[in-house]
Structure 1
Amino acid sequence: MSEQAVPVSPQIVNVANFLRDHKLLKKRSGLLNGAIQIDFFRLKRLVRALSSPQFTQQKDVPIIEKPQDVTQIIVQLIESKMIVPVDKLSTNDTRTKGIKPVKGSPALFPAQKADLNNPESYFIWVYNKPNPMLIVYSIIAIAAVFTILLFPLWPRFMRKGVWYLSMIAMGLIALLFVVAIIRLVMYLISLAVCPKGFWLFPNLFEDVGFFDSFKPLYGWEEKVEKKGKKSKKGKAEPAPSATNSGVEVHATSVTKKTHTPVLEEVDE
């Protein structure tokens, strides 16, 4: 038999609206079941926010006269499915449950029951405050759909203007493809003729602004030089020894400010 939904009191909704983005909760973002990004907070922070002077100034919220009243509000939030108890998993527990740890996003897992006696217990927000602009966006979307559907009834000059705009847009897209093909052909030809590749509009597909994509007009490909391997201490490797008239000469490593003696220079 399925559980019946608990009716949500308007006062509890007001409490949730007050707490959802309250700074005293110090909410953080975590991953529920390793997939869902969600906000979570500690129980002690929730109790602190409900006990704050700002909450007593709210209208149409339950009156708090003793600590048991705070606990009762939290119970109602849980029963209304606005907050849900969770466990914060360690790295080992995360891997045990088959969840890949993500750095900076603690792993959360639904708890069997809420522990209201432990101030360090965790909860997640399931409730989101209603967006007042959602109605406005819905009206705009509906108006846009009806405007498109009633296109045959538009005045002739409006339909003609839309046709011209669509042709201009298609022409710009086609021009972009033509420029991309031309620059690629020029680059391939330059590789066979010149030591470096030549790019027309080198920033065309870079992550820059629209106008910056066409600056500069052309550019030469810069080859990345491979750096030589350095010794462990960052010094140049000693040159190989050379012999001159039977006398062996060793090159010592020299730095700008310090001189490190080699074995031959140290008195026994």
Structure 2
Amino acid sequence: MAPNGTSAASFYTDDKNLMKLCDFLRSSDGPAVREAIEMDKRVYYIKGEKLVNFMVEPKKGTKWPKELPKFTSRQEAIGVCKDLCSGHFMHRSEKVGKGELEVSRVRDFDESAYFTWMYEGNKKFSHLMTTMLIIGFLCCTCFPIWPNFLKVFVWYMSVSMLIFIFFLITFRALIFLGVWILGYDFWILPNLFDEQLGFFASFVPLYSFERTKEGQLYYRIGVFVAFFSFCYWAVTQPSEFDGFVKGQGDFIKDLYAGTLLSDMSQKDKENIDKPKMPSLEDLLKKLDSEDEEEKELSEEEAVDSLLDNLVEDEEDVADDEE
């Protein structure tokens, strides 16, 4: 029953209430959906039977919204699903291939058919993110006219993020290697680099710990011998650890200061984001050098033609004497 005592069927006759129901069904607490391509567009679809089953008996642990009445029978759920189809919240589809759908000519709801969600929820957040993306793009294209302190801030942030990611990847790999040798797979932030997850979902769970698959014993022994042999060799070799630490510190300082490219003059580094246009003086020098080259070529051609004429005259004299 609805909060005010009315039945679920009568409560969901209002489009606003149907939108609230769709917001819940399309959320992470709703039924699982699949992805497909329909009319050259990525869509989400679900089988009618699974949708009705979820509406009547939600999966365990589902937090049903208090403001929405629960369904007491399959007939109530099927009736609301028909309203969702007639209200264009979803439409019936047919499979035409693996991962491909097409809009069905049949509009009625059927538990054995597939239905594609047309309702995309509140678009305010999407519009806000699009606006922020456009503003960010414009800011990036206007980077040459940014004030110098903002350029320095962006540079420091970029270098700090680069160093943090490098040490995080190295730390994760070393921890995994040490635990994997003992027969377990231990990953810190296992979904960190999963491209199919969102930003916040990439940090969940914090870690994963499970036994390795069978048949990896000899690989673990080989890695154990190779790793600790390398460690023993590195420890027994004469080295200047203090010099190494100092060198790494100088490298990071140069990285933050932007002085790694020592062969670039200070003027070039300051004007690296400015378009390089030749000045009038440079153009005139270039024209003068081209004129001088043409003069030299013309003088060489004149000498060559004079030598050719002398050779021809000598050959003519020799022919006359004969």
TM (norm. structure 1) is 0.41
More helix by share: 2
Structure with higher RCO (Cα < 8 A, 6+ apart): 1
Larger Rg: 2
